[in-house]
Amino acid sequence: MMTPPTTEHFEIALNTAAGQITTAVEVPTGFVPVTAIVPLIRRLGEEAHALEVARSVDAGKPPSCHKGCAACCRMLVPLSAPEAFALREWVRARPTDHQERIGARFSEVKSRLLSQSLWQRLSELCNAPGQPSDDALEMVNREYYALRLPCPFLEEEVCTIYEVRPAACRELLVSSPPERCDDIINNPVEPIGAPVSVSTVLGLLWQELGKSPTRLIPLPVALDWANGHEHENQQAWKGVELLDGALDKTWRFLSQSIHETPETLPDKGQDQR
């Protein structure tokens, strides 16, 4: 019989511009892949975002997003390397027929992108030696959005990976009328800001762990990228080491959003371990 992994309990407290979040987490004490930290950091990001949503509601601007409103599911979604690996693992854990359906939808998207000369450009973003310029990203985003390609995980206008969807999807909420989202290029939308960009936090963590550039991986090429870099996901780190690294990036991200200096960042000793 396999022995269940040992975990360590942490009480996390983070200050955001909209208030403080406190949460309890269980982190493996042994060596685990970087994907083990993805759900935890996503949850922290969601809890921080919930404070911003509450503040927007108090200001008379509640979210207008609802189930079946899937205009944003035709935008180009960026993933960090850990998220790409986690998504690939989730797909591989599905029954064979489900994997085949997902594979077929990704193939359809790839064919469309190849016909528009976008596939190669998206693939190049994954392996760029440095962060692409904002202008370059904006151009690719606009060209992709113009195609109105539904996300490969979208079925009948409903997300089929909602519980494990990328952080960028979780952070995209608007308070403007939903019909404006049908054409966000020409219609002004009012986003509810996310205090933490989880993809950025995980990307910076991966950069530190692997001594490699921060990756920007567009969702349509994420499974291909993860399959081609499988050897990189074979590495393992102590769970507490991953937590420390991710929280350090999160604290620094939050400190910028509330206009603090590095000297006023919360001390790690405040965690109750």
pLDDT score at 258: 64
Q: Is residue 197 part of a domain?
A: no
- Distance between CA 129 and CA 252 in Å, rounded? 24
Burial 148-176 (b: 16+ CB within 10 A, else e): ebebbbbeeeebbbeebbbbbbbbbbbbb
Count how many domains the chain has: 2
- Distance between CA 75 and CA 59 in Å, rounded? 28
Report the alpha-carbon angle 265-271-273, nearest 5. 155
According to DSSP, the β-strands at 237-238 and 217-218 are unpaired
Q: Is residue 150 part of a domain?
A: yes
Which amino acid is present at 82? P
User: Quick one: 78 and 55 in the same domain?
Assistant: no
- pLDDT < 70 positions in the chain: 1-5, 130, 257-273
User: Quick one: 223 and 109 in the same domain?
Assistant: yes
pLDDT score at 249: 92
User: Quick one: 56 and 96 in the same domain?
Assistant: no
Q: What share of the chain is helix, strand, coil (3-state, %, to 5)?
A: 55, 15, 35
Q: Is residue 88 part of a domain?
A: yes
Q: Is residue 177 part of a domain?
A: no
Give the three-state DSSP class for 34. Answer: helix
Q: Which long-range contacts (CB under 8 A, 24 or more apart) does 124-127 make?
A: 125/216, 125/217, 125/218, 126/215, 126/216, 126/217, 126/218, 126/221, 126/225
pLDDT score at 4: 58
pLDDT score at 271: 42
User: Quick one: 95 and 228 in the same domain?
Assistant: yes
pLDDT score at 254: 84
Backbone angles phi, psi at 197, to 5 degrees: -90, 100
In 3D space, the residue among 189, 163, 175 whose CA is nearest the CA of residue 75 turns out to be 189
Q: Is residue 258 part of a domain?
A: yes
User: Quick one: 224 and 105 in the same domain?
Assistant: yes
User: Quick one: 115 and 213 in the same domain?
Assistant: yes
Which amino acid is present at 163? E
DSSP state of 272: B
Q: In terms of C-beta density within 10 A (0-12 exposed, 13-18 middle, 19 or more buried), how is residue 88 classed?
A: buried
User: Quick one: 59 and 131 in the same domain?
Assistant: no
Q: Do residues 256 and 211 lie in contact, with contact meaning Cβ atoms separated by under 8 Å?
A: no
Report the alpha-carbon angle 10-210-273, nearest 5. 10
User: Quick one: 84 and 39 in the same domain?
Assistant: no
Q: Is residue 260 part of a domain?
A: yes
pLDDT score at 159: 93
Where in the sequence is the domain holding 50, given as residue range(s)? 1-63+236-273
What is the token pair recorded at 33? 């892949």
